[in-house]
Structure 1
Amino acid sequence: MTATIDPTTDLYPTRLSQPGAVIDREHPTVWGSPEDGPFDAAALKAHEERGFTILEDFITPDEVEGYTAELNRLAADPAVRDDHRTVTEKVSGEVRSVFEVQKISEKLDALSRDPRLLDRARQLLGSDVYLHQTRINFMPGFKGTGFYWHSDFETWHAEDGMPIPRAVSCSIALTRNYPFNGGLMVMPGSHRSFIQCVGETPENNHASSLKEQKIGVPTEDDITRMAGQLGVDQFTGPAGSALWFDSNIMHGSGNNITPFPRSNIFMVFNSVENTLTEPYGAPAPRPEHIANRDFTPLR
């Protein structure tokens, strides 16, 4: 499926001076068909309705072991720790995330092109795709801090210039996700509505928002209303599981006060028909290691 996009028209205004309205999403979550890839018709229908899909045993135990070793290698490398692409915990100083990992790890670059990922991303988005963002995430035991409720697309639209929510994220768990160690929570069906947020985007907002997001988050009233209507699900399961979720789904995570750490590989695929323009709600685009502007299709 193709769509004509006028990037000069802001279809999802946000970062307003006053509270706005809820915008009904006019774009689909699933752009392809069952014939286009590995998801069958039932899986696509469920993804369209809920905005997310959990696949257990997405990668093998041997692959989990190999990718875990790669994450530990990167986190222990002083050059990576001092790199501008690395984000540390606000309080503990431990590594929280490393961005643009396809540029610093051949193993993770190859994973982004693996047919298990690439075929599903192309099917969901109905086109060739490129990597909008990649990162590895760590949530250490006792010290890992979560993220407040938010829609990724709200940030990508306001600060990166992504025109419409035609992007999908894949989070691959390298540790078991329990209900109690800070696992990702999602509101099923919330991807159908765009929540406008209040507050002007500060200059270089990414420098602080990647540690603790305060701008571009919904109000407590919005969250209360949506949770009451839609409920909350959580991504739990063994290492090797994968969560595919729509760019506009409302999600968040709590702090990890258990001794059980979490880590995952996170890759965002965007349609080549939805490439970035100028930010819709920020003074300047975020750096390219956070919002990639090389739109070459993945092969």
Structure 2
Amino acid sequence: MNLNSDQISFYNENGYLKLDNYLNEEEVDILSAELPKTIEKNSPRIILEDNGSVRSIFAPHFVNETYKKLARLEKFVVPSKQLIGHDVYIHQYKVNTKKGLKGDWWEWHQDFPYWHIDDGIKDPHLVSVMIYLQDTDSSNGALLMVPKSHKMGIVKFANKGDLANAAPGKYSDHNKTTDYSSSLNANIKFTIDPELLTKLANDNSIVTANGKKGTALFFHGNLFHASNINLTPFDRDAIIITYNSINNLPTNTKNPRPDFLVGNDYESIEKLEYSL
């Protein structure tokens, strides 16, 4: 699928593009059925909440053929190439889960600071695609966004003190203390300065990306975004595939983050899939 000029203009202006019914019910059902097969006990790819529920599943395509196919679907790769302007590879791939009555929040942040500071990527124009596997709204943790915030570049971070001294949660032994762990839990290290967030929200408002299951949300690496806790008794799962230009590779080769966080297959995606 090719995006039209109006869709590309909307994305460039606002930093996101939401496409309803992008996957059909059968495709969503397939992904939902395969999701449990991507979870490996005690794997570093699996990030837990302090209450023990699964928070994130990284690199599901490492262990599951269906999820490997998903990231190569024409309907995701081609629009991402249009928005980035170059051939692309998978920089990061994860499923963020919010278990019913247990799923925690994601604080206000930009994604690109992690990729720039931790991975050494120069250009911010990576595109993430979020795919909802359930109907999603403000009650179960739909993405919150500040339109046009992506135009500001990397912004001032909130002063959060020493994250290393934060009290460990009950399940911190599973989420090993590492240089990268503070980008994965509910107390992420690079959050947006509250005064700046207030100003931008007053200027541009906050948009809630409500969507039925099968909705796809394309968004820019510097877009301000967050999500709330899941207040419903039902699980909410969202797949996020991040595409990067093959001309914008990570430069941190001395101390790279693990390959389940930072893709190291830089071959452009040429062999496209057209169905799951």
- Using structure 2 for the length normalisation, give the TM-score: 0.87
What SS class does the counterpart of residue 81 from structure 1 fall into?
coil
Matched, 1:45 2:9: yes
Gaps of 5+ in 1: 1-36
Give the structure 1 partner of residue 169 of structure 2. none
Partner of 1:263: 237
Whether 1:216 aligns to 2:203 is no
Q: Secondary structure of the residue that 2:95 maps to in structure 1?
A: strand
- Aligned residues of 2:146 and 2:225 also touching (Cα < 8 A): yes
Aligned to 1:145: 104
Q: Which stretch of the first structure deviates more once superposed, 169-178 or 196-205?
A: 196-205
**What is the letter of the counterpart of residue 61 of structure 2?**
Q
The alignment's C-alpha RMSD in Å is 1.9
Partner of 1:243: 217
Residues 132-281 of structure 1 mapped to structure 2, 5 A cutoff: 132-194=91-153, 195-197=155-157, 204-278=178-252
Residue 234 of structure 1: how far off its partner (Å): 1.1
User: Residue 88 of structure 1 aligns with which residue?
Assistant: 48
Q: Deviations over 1:140-185 (max 9, x none)?
A: 1110001100000011111111111121000110000022211110
Q: Contact 2:56 / 2:94 at 8 angstroms: preserved in 1?
A: yes
Match of 2:88 in 1: 129
Deviation at 1:83, TM superposition (A): 1.1
* Higher relative contact order structure (alpha carbons within 8 Å, sequence separation ≥ 6): 2
Structure 2: unaligned runs, 5 residues or longer:
165-176, 271-276
> Following the alignment from structure 1 to structure 2, what is the Cα–Cα distance between the partners of residues 106 and 201?
37
- CA pair 257-222 structure 1, distance change in 2 beyond 3 A: same
CA contact (8 A) 2:114 2:183 kept: no
- Are the equivalent residues in 1 in contact too, given 2:38–2:60 (CA < 8 A)? no
Letter of the 2:83 counterpart: L
TM-score by length of 1: 0.81
In 1, Cα distance between the equivalents of 2:151 and 2:69? Answer: 33
- The whole-number CA distance in structure 1 between the counterparts of 2:112 and 2:77 is 20
Please state how far the C-alpha of 1:201 moved relative to its aligned partner: 8.8
Hey, what's the Cα distance between the residues in 2 that align with 1:170 and 1:227? 23
Q: Following TM superposition, by how much is the alpha carbon of 1:198 offset from its aligned partner in structure 2, in angstroms? A: 6.2
CA distance in 2, matches of 1:213, 1:292: 24
Deviation at 1:288, TM superposition (A): 1.8
Deviation of 1:212 (Å): 2.0
Of stretches 116-125 and 258-267 in structure 1, the one that deviates more from structure 2 is 258-267
SS of the equivalent of 2:23 reads coil
Per-residue CA deviations over 1:7-59 (Å, capped at 9, x if unaligned) read xxxxxxxxxxxxxxxxxxxxxxxxxxxxxx61111111111111000001111
Any conservation in 1 of the 2:109–2:225 contact (CA below 8 Å)?
yes
**Which residue in 1 is equivalent to 2:258?**
287
Report if aligned partners of 1:161, 1:285 keep a CA contact under 8 Å in 2: no
- 2:274 corresponding residue in structure 1: none
* Number of residue-to-residue matches in the alignment: 255
Q: Percent identity?
A: 30
